[in-house]
Structure 1
Amino acid sequence: MKRIVILIGWMLLASGVAAQSWSLDDCMKYAVGHATDVKRETINARQRKQDYHHAVAAFLPTVSGGVQGQYAWGRNIDPETNTYNNVTTFNNYYQLYAELNVFDGFATINAFRQARLSRDYSATAMQKVQDNIAIDVMQKYVDAAYAEASIRIASEKLDESRRMLAKTKRQYELGEKGRPDVVQMESQVAEDEYCLTHQQNMARQSLLALKSAMNYPVGDELKLDIMSKDKEESLSSCPLTAEDKRNSENIYQSFLNLSPDVRSAEYEVERARYDYKIAKGRLLPSLSLTGGVTTNYYKNLSLKGQYDGFASQFRNNRGEYLALTLSIPIYNSDRWHSVKKARNDWQLAQVNLEEARRKLHDQIAQAVMDAEGYAKELRQMQKKVASDSLAYHMSSRKFEEGMLSTFDLHTSAQTLLESRIKQLQMQMLLVIKQRLVEYYKGEKLIR
């Protein structure tokens, strides 16, 4: 009984989630929380942290130990008399040693700095992934909302055409209209039905693209909140100040240090620079210090003699050593190739950084220009829709009174439809551009 109650509760919760209306921010939050790119970047951040710990451990000495057991038979050397004999012996060696890297051309230090840089970059990399996902979902959401709103416009147009067709048929029965007028209106209804079916197909495709971008279950319902509060506020006023309209340079300068793309390019430059330093360091001599303790146990199996026990030999045969090794690379083509390749990669990263900065500058200028332009176009289209709506109303009245042909009525209806679609398109484009401008001005994409 308890399991049934829990199952019913989960079903009710799932149905409530499916029935809710999803705003733009809801979709972006869901996408960021369920995107595979975010999960992948989380693993990458954990790996960068592990690489940092590994770089820190490189400053510590390495400690190793070894045990060797050896049976020898035939001609060999007696370790006690240092003469050749033909016997079977058993040798058991023990060794414990440590090695410390004293100098390696600053390769270890530079590797540590590079690992620390990568660890600190994790937050920027995560922000970059989240922003890219949010922008992609925002575009897909606007496309899906535009397609769904187009269905409403096409449905209203179809209802109006059916109403006019019914009235035309009635006037035809009364002798006020001719058969060509009825046929023309039937053609108009068929055209509007096709437009509605086409818009429904486009809406399904757009919604599927949005679910894919969100990593949302394809089979679950996703109801969009087209007239959400954030959209109404974004359409009611333009967020651009007078200074922003005159010059987008101030937005670029303030966002330059916040841009994840630019900071990612700067990280690549620093990482490549450390790679270059590490490669150059491998051309320098290296110095290492090694110390250890060794001991062994020996027994002649061919002769029955008295030998010291294992504990006695293990203690008496113990020896210590300390070694300082200097390695001087004279010629190594692989190391020289690595230096040249690392230098080229560093220079290429610098070029990519300049490109990222220039691309950001152009994107901000384009977003500011588009937001201002779409706001002006939207105001003009609102006036045009009002005029076309009035013109269609007058045309329909003239058509009903027999003062206007069916063709002219069709032209007026199509003009109104195109104006409403164009107005809707301007609204959706303005939503995207305003959110982008606000993002470039330092506000978060996901609120």
Structure 2
Amino acid sequence: MAAGARMLLVAAIASGQGKTTVTAALARRLRRMGQRVHVFKCGPDFIDPMVLEHASRAKVHTLDLWMVGLEQSRQRLARAARDADVVLVEGVMGLYDGDPSAADLARAFDLPVLAVIDASAMAQTAGAVVMGLRDYGPVRMAGVVANRVASEGHARMVAASLRDIPLLATLPKQTRQLPERHLGLVVPGEVDDIDLILDELADQLKLDEAAWSALAPQLPAEALPEEPVRPLLAGKTVAIARDAAFCFLYPANVDTLEALGARVRFFSPLADEPVPEDADAVYLTGGYPELHGETLAQARRWQDSIRAAHAAGVTILAECGGMMVLAEAIADVEGRSWPMAGLLPGRVQMQPRLAGLGGQAMATKAGELRGHAFHYSRFDTPLAPAAWTAKHSSGARGEAVYRVGSLTASYFHAFFASNPAAAASLLRKDPA
């Protein structure tokens, strides 16, 4: 029987401490040491998993007690612990932020916590911060990574303040960092020297190998048997937009479509590729269409093909950025307006302020489909919503859901694996 893997939930007191940087550096460093590394991301996120996948060279799935569910999260962790030497789970925001929080996930699966602290403006106070993180929940604290340390002397002061908690690693102040934009980090495909940056971070990570070796491998308790997915999309072809403008796609969504029996085909609106002629359904994912407004406005073959697919009654599911390109126009923050496909009346306006954030659920004929919203734009339209999502956990009204013929569109990002039958209902001729 497998002995299990060293498992760590990488957390911090807040966003901006360097969780993704440290997780990516640690994954790259351990992989170069010959370790099999499996990385997960806690909570709804598309961008951090892309960076972590690039660092670890393995698919990064989401864990979340609400959106993914307790048993499905347990199944994914148990499989990873059997197949890998190290399992890293990057937390979300601060350790105790959100409902459920990263701390809730750690306690649910007895995951030891690796605390990342930005030590650039502190020394001995680091111990108080880490002990507070440990005791507030409490959680099982495995150790600390001190990020942005100034010197070896600085690192020694931090280590001394931690008392009985090991300083597993330090990372110096970085001259080059992973670049960011309004929705988070810049996706790896747009960073020319991403591998060089990741290798530099791995080189700079000073790992206490003795303390690392002292971490005991563990194997999560076996999950309940997975329920078989009914082949509700057997024989159907689902065309998925995927390129730099449409890059927000959960790997689990593709896995779920294939488990439902669908044949998945990818195409690039940004490259002016038309909707595949054999598509029974089109899935327009989120991403960054606002950064590619001019190119998408000139993609006549793509625009003509999505209009033709809609006129022919092909089922279309458009999420966030996918919805934006079906409006009449997208206006960016500089005031430039780019004409889009026009299947939805109205105009999308980018704005500097966050317009939607958090877990949400969509009601369908096949039950609740869980997911989230995260956007910096608003859709000004005369179209009346056909429905609204519900916010977790208040139940308050969330994002508008629009339906025009065979098209369902919303800022809501669905996590298909939370209810495969509900996902299938949105991609068949009988929309929810």
Q: Could you tell me the TM-score, scaled by structure 1's length?
A: 0.17
Q: Could you tell me the TM-score, scaled by structure 2's length?
A: 0.18
Which has the larger strand fraction? 2
Task: Tell me which of the two structures has the higher relative contact order, counting C-alpha pairs closer than 8 angstroms and 6 or more residues apart.
Answer: 1
Which has the larger helix fraction? 1
* Bigger radius of gyration: 1
